[in-house]
Amino acid sequence: MAKKEIIEDVVKFDNIIYVGDLVETKFGACKIKKIELMPEPRHWSKCGINVNKMFTSMIDYCIIDLDNRHFVYGDEIERIG
């Protein structure tokens, strides 16, 4: 079973990436503002389904908006902490 942690009355699992998580990117450390699930990895358009969390095993299928107004593909992030 996945390790879990309780933060602010919310149970967070270590195999799920959440909006608000701190991640390391090519732009430095950033918080996730938005996650969009795409039909395939590195899909060419930003026309996905908005989600609040995503399994780490499926993060390659996502485009992630950051708090510094950039976006990255799911395979370009590493969760901090």
pLDDT digits (tens, 9 = 90+) for 12-25: 888 999 999 999 99
Is-contact 70 23, C-beta < 8 A? no
Quick one: tokens of 21? Answer: 């998580």
Cα 70 from Cα 22, distance rounded (Å): 14
pTM of the model: 0.84
Output 38 or 5, whichever has higher pLDDT.
38
Q: In the structure, what pLDDT confidence band is assigned to residue 2 with cuts at 50, 70 and 90?
A: low
Cα 41 from Cα 59, distance rounded (Å): 9
